[in-house]
A = this chain, B = another copy of it.
Amino acid sequence: MKQKLYFLPESEIPTQWYNIQADMKIKPQPMLDPVTRKPVTVEDLSRIFSVECSKQELNTTDAWIDIPEEVREYYAYYRPSPLVRAYGLEKALDTPARIYFKNESVSPIGSHKLNSALPQAYYCKQEGVTNVTTETGAGQWGAALSYASRLFGLECAVYQVKISYQQKPYRRNIMQVFGAQVTPSPSMSTRAGKDILTAFPNHQGSLGTAISEAVELARMTPGCKYTLGSTMSHVSLHQTIIGLEAEKQMALAEDYPDVVIACFGGGSNFSGIAFPFMRHTLLEGKKTRYIAAEPSACPKLTQGEFTYDFGDEAGYTPLIPMFSLGHNFKPANIHAGGLRYHGAGAIVSQLMKDGIMEAADVKQLETFDAGLLFAKAEGIIPAPESCHAIAVAIREANRCKENGQAETILFNLSGHGLVDMAAYDQYLSGNLVNCD
């Protein structure tokens, strides 16, 4: 029998995350205080984030950071996630390539987001925080934080992009099941929200706006901290557990990827699967390609500019060195809500600038073509975000077929699409369009 799933025993759950900043010859440029233009400090960051996450954010020296025992215990609720050999997809494409995917959809909340929600909630609890807040688009991050908050006994308030709040009631319900307070953004509960609603009464919301609201709530509320599901370096750090496991599992399969692919919003799942492999490129010159798959409707890496920009609409965050489409960029309303963000994290932006990685953009219809093909071949209905990674993996597998090359392709299945079936319904009924 051909082996399909590669599992690791619970004892093989990594005990440390990998901090790629320590191994980068050219470090990411510092985040700047927008007023003083000086690099931000741990003290600055810890006004809104937990102290430990603020330290991790600015740590450019330690390559390995210990995972707290309590976090590992909760990781063991769903990790190690399986590495899967995509025999079905290979057959459907008639490609000589060997295709693997890391299946992060098996997490309780259905995506990789819990990998960072758990440590962020844990550190907050350790530091005496009682309330956490965040923004969410499609709701994957919000659901993860809601669940993690529940586990650690924190109150959780989520600002959800209004159009998603209305279009994706199921994901909102999931957050509510876990006890979170979910507010459609822009709301009248913050200054940032009020300002936007005054100027644009029918504003449908954006991640940038929702971030502004959550940051404002954290600033104004004693005992409340802000958390973020992507973009920041400490989030990438936490997500490396994906790639660290995948590295061990690829060894079990006696294989090693020539190409590593993940969809790209702010960078959390891309960093997670790519950085542990990239370590061998940085340290040993290993020739592996790393491809960020982004939507054509929000093409920050392929079309954006490398610049200092805000992470949010209202300009509450530090200035971040990033590939950006501008913090006021309004992406079209594609179903991959988690990829509708204007900027890339500082680490990825530097790696992109230095030619260590690549990016590819995909139009919405191609992503759903890929998602359907994958679902039929592998039985898992992918999240609209993950469909971007699948589309690029298919392009690479087709290239292998044309060239007769038996390369090894690894992609991250960041989440399942069971709460996004309305998007598939639209696709199947022929009503889905490209947005760009």
- A7 sits at the interface (CB 8 A): yes
A-B CB contact pairs (8 Å), 19 listed: A2-B73, A5-B78, A7-B10, A108-B378, A110-B418, A147-B379, A150-B376, A170-B418, A170-B421, A173-B421, A176-B428, A177-B375, A177-B381, A177-B428, A178-B375, A178-B376, A179-B376, A418-B419, A419-B421
Q: Tell me the bound Cα distance from A375 to B176 in angstroms.
A: 11
Given A173-B422, A174-B418, A177-B375, output 13 extra A-B contacts at Cβ < 8 Å.
A1-B76, A4-B73, A5-B77, A7-B10, A88-B151, A106-B106, A108-B380, A169-B421, A170-B421, A176-B424, A177-B376, A177-B424, A418-B418
Residues of B within 8 A of A150 (CB): 376
> Chain A: residues with CB nearer than 8 A to chain B?
1-5, 7, 9-10, 69, 72-73, 76-78, 88, 106, 108-110, 147, 150-151, 169-170, 173-174, 176-179, 372, 375-376, 378-381, 418-419, 421-422, 424-425, 428
Measured CA separation A376–B375 after assembly (Å): 29
Q: Which B residues touch A9, using CB under 8 A?
A: 7
Nearest-neighbour CB distance to chain B for A57, whole angstroms, equals 27
Chain B residues within an 8 Å CB radius of A147: 379
Shortest CB-to-CB span from A379 to chain B, Å, is 3
Give the chain B neighbours of A2 by CB distance below 8 A: 73
Name A170's contact: one of B78, B177, B179, B422 (CB within 8 Å).
B422
A173 touches B10 (CB 8 A): no
B428 touches A372 (CB 8 A): no
Given contact pairs A108-B379, A421-B169, A421-B170, A372 touches B177 in the complex (Cβ within 8 A): yes
Separation of A277 and B185 alpha carbons in the complex (Å): 52
Closest Cβ–Cβ distance, residue A229 to chain B (whole Å): 17
Residues of B contacting A169 in the complex (Cβ-Cβ under 8 angstroms): 421-422, 425
Contact B428 A173 (CB under 8 A): yes
> In the complex, A69→B1 CA distance in Å?
8
Q: Which residue of B lies closest to A171 (CB)?
A: B421
